[in-house]
Structure 1
Amino acid sequence: MTDALIEALRADTPGCAGPRVHFNHAGASLSSRRTLAAITDHLALEAEVGPMEAAVMAADGVARTRAAAATLLNATPEEIAFATGGSAAWGTAIASLPPLRPGDRVLVGRQEWGGNLTTLRDKAARAGAGVEVIPSLEDGRVDADALAGLIDDRVRLVSLTWGAANGGLVNDAAAVGRVARAAGIPYVIDAAQVVGQIPVDVRALGCDMLKAPGRKHLRGPRGTALLYVRRDFLDKVTPAWLDVQSSPWATHLGADHAPVSPRDDARRLEASEASVALQLGLGNALEQALALGIDHIRARIHHLAQGLRGRLEGIPGVTVRDIGDPETRSGLVSFTVEGLAGSAVRARLMDQGLTLGANGMPYTPLDMTTRGLTEIARASLSYLTTEAELDRLADALARLAP
């Protein structure tokens, strides 16, 4: 990714034009003008001809979005469902799995997203089941060998947050997948902080379901998400509810007591009511990511993130909190400033035109508790980020630190 290409990409991104610098791409990134145009053009068409009519006219465009998502994940379009957000996609996936029974076990990684963990614990508590944490390696990543030792006939689900939300750690999701597949246990991945900045191959991962929002590293619009469901796993998926898309009436018309038959692809978990405009915007973001090449995106973000960590490690009073294998870390750089809570760091830097994130205990409660942290500040990078912007952030933190 040459300097000229980065300049062109930034010129096509309204959020890069102003004085504010965006370091919260892991929360929600900055969309391109072409993505925004895909959304607004369809909204204008809806206003002109009617939303339902516009949806019919945009059917090919939505199909291209699904095909682009499949290409990105090395899946098929029939294995892709859309959702209105990452939490909605993940909750829909978990709700579709077979019910837990007393004594069942659910295994999770230490970096499990707080919302996922709450959902799983609630589901387990209602059934008299339990949620257990998979041991970690010394560097904090999930220990796949230890996972293998936990497997018995009561384990019903392995759930993994692939990339930590509170820093750069990236778990070895493929190693976890090999254990889960060998044991025949459903394996669900939360790839919210991975898709769009690190290559994803669901075949190599061995997962049954995987979700990711469009608003983060894909630079798509908020209110969109992808849900992958392995084709051979569909017979184990029961939608929590059905509508005319997920179970068309024609499939069981003509018999008063005929069994309901959900459709035979991932769209059995997809609702018919959705924002076509946002799906088209997501499609453009996906196509842009594919055109750039996720390998190239990964290389640039990794270089920038390592550079920022090096800058911060040289500032007295600033402590980099990233763990995991340095060679596989993501573009999420977490740190603390002596004497200041993460939210205070975020607020003070916001006053200087620098937008960061701050993660507290609710986001990654297991990992934060294990490491004795209550809050961290988080600078999450994009391929749009420049070296000059990293210098500006480091300079601001040097003035802020005691």
Structure 2
Amino acid sequence: MSPLDVQHLRDDTPGCQSGIVHFNHAGASLPSQATLDAIIEQLQREARDGPMEAGEHGEVLVEKARRAAAQLLNAPASSIAFASSGSTAWSMAFQALGRWQPGDRILVGRHEWGGNLASMELAVQAGARIEVIPCDDSGAACPVALESMIDAHVKLIDLTWLPANGGLINPAQAIGEVARRHAIPYFIDAGQAVGQVPVDVQALQCDVLKSAGRKHLRGPRGTALLYVRPAFLERLKPAQRDVFSAPWTAQGFDLRNDARRFETSETSFALLAGLGNALQEMNRLGIERVWERVSQTSERIREALRGIPGITLHDLGTRQSGLIAFNLAGWDAFELKRRLGLKHINIGANGVAYTPLDMQARGLQSVARISVSPLNNEDDIALLSAALRELAD
């Protein structure tokens, strides 16, 4: 992406005109004006025509969003469902796997999202065990080690592809090859991947993949994507059902034969209109161009951080994403986030609960987190570096 391309993105984004330097895109990114307009237009339509009456047009917008999501993930539109959050989407799919038995094994990466681990508690209470896939020398989940763990009791492999607490990129495709070879269900938490790196669910060979809309996709809060591999769909029996997900037929209430069995009749057409616009913008921009820009920007930031006394980087892996984990000597990560906020610079801060297995394994209580977007430019980097140097002094 050229500087002119970046400036066009910034010109179309109100948050870039506010005087705020935003480096918290992994928490929630900045929506474009067109995304805001799509939300407002649907709300105005509902106010003018009646909320239920405007639903017909809302359904058209939802299907446009579904097709856009399918294009981004290289999936059929019928395999895409929408949810209110990534954690909700993942939890619904996990619960739909059915009952767990004593001795069942769930294999997870050490970097697993805390919300997913919380959802597994019911399985643990039923006698299942959560076991961690060993890491390789770079700190990533190791496919070779995973292969050695496989037996008949393994009922699920789950991987957080890009962890919330740093720049690691786990080998999701290689893990998928192991899962497919042994016909074991494979879930991917792609909350930090979709909209940042190219995602091809066919190459990943995953059965389920989820992501939030508010992060790198630049969609609104309260939206998320759920992909379910069509051939795996019949394995999943959602506990939550209504007249939309399980419509009435001559045989009674039957679950839909597509991913919409995870949706309900009550949804926000306005929010999904916004998400649809954000997805279309991403497809027009090109995820490969986005990823190249994010890689270049994050590497410049890492280089700048290495030159600031007292900063320790905590990223793992051989190639890093646009999430940069660090600590500044003498500063609590959350206080550092607050102080930068007073300087109109937004970053994130993560505690142990976000990625408990990895944080505990590395003895980390908290990390500050910079997360970048194609929206960030050289001025943003300079302001961030200057602020951190001032606080370091």
TM-score tier (shorter) = over 0.9
Partner of 2:14: 14
The offset of 1:372, in angstroms, is 1.1
Q: Distance in 1 between matches of 2:58 and 2:350?
A: 39
2:339 is matched with which residue: 340, 348, 358?
348
1:231-252 alpha-carbon deviations (Å, 9 max, x no partner): 0001101011211111111252
Please give the secondary structure, in 2, of the residue aligned with 1:26: coil
Q: Distance in 1 between matches of 2:249 and 2:207?
A: 28
> Bigger CA drift: 287-296 or 362-371?
362-371
Amino acid at match of 1:118: A
1:153-199 alpha-carbon deviations (Å, 9 max, x no partner): 00000111000101110101000000011111110000000000100
Q: Distance in 2 between matches of 1:367 and 1:126?
A: 23
Amino acid at match of 1:162: W
CA contact (8 A) 2:298 2:324 kept: yes
Give the alignment's Cα RMSD to 1 decimal: 0.9
Superposed, 1:54-65 pairs within 5 Å as 54-65=54-65
Q: Distance in 1 between matches of 2:178 and 2:276?
A: 34
Partner of 2:29: 29
CA contact (8 A) 2:61 2:269 kept: no
CA contact (8 A) 1:245 1:271 kept: yes
Partner of 1:2: 2
Q: Distance in 2 between matches of 1:376 and 1:382?
A: 20
Q: Distance in 1 between matches of 2:117 and 2:63?
A: 33
Superposed, 1:246-325 pairs within 5 Å as 246-250=245-249, 252-253=251-252, 260-325=253-318
Partner of 1:336: 327
Unaligned runs of 5+ in 2: none
The offset of 1:8, in angstroms, is 1.3
Partner of 1:92: 92
CA contact (8 A) 1:251 1:261 kept: no
Amino acid at match of 2:135: S
Please give the secondary structure, in 2, of the residue aligned with 1:51: coil
Say yes or no: does 1:374 pair with 2:335. Answer: no
Say how many residue pairs are matched.
393
Amino acid at match of 1:105: R
The offset of 1:58, in angstroms, is 2.7
Q: Distance in 1 between matches of 2:127 and 2:98?
A: 15
Normalized against structure 1, the TM-score is what?
0.96
Q: Distance in 2 between matches of 1:31 and 1:4?
A: 19
Distance 1:181 1:251, change over 3 A: farther
Distance 1:126 1:14, change over 3 A: same
Partner of 1:138: 137
Normalized against structure 2, the TM-score is what?
0.99
Q: Distance in 2 between matches of 1:61 and 1:241?
A: 24
1:236-287 alpha-carbon deviations (Å, 9 max, x no partner): 010112111111112524xxxxxx4211000011111110000010000000
Q: Distance in 1 between matches of 2:65 and 2:53?
A: 19
Partner of 2:81: 81
The offset of 1:129, in angstroms, is 1.2
Partner of 2:391: 400
Q: Distance in 1 between matches of 2:180 and 2:143?
A: 12
Please give the secondary structure, in 2, of the residue aligned with 1:350: helix
1:55-84 alpha-carbon deviations (Å, 9 max, x no partner): 112322211110000000000010000001
Amino acid at match of 2:356: P
Q: Distance in 2 between matches of 1:52 and 1:137?
A: 54
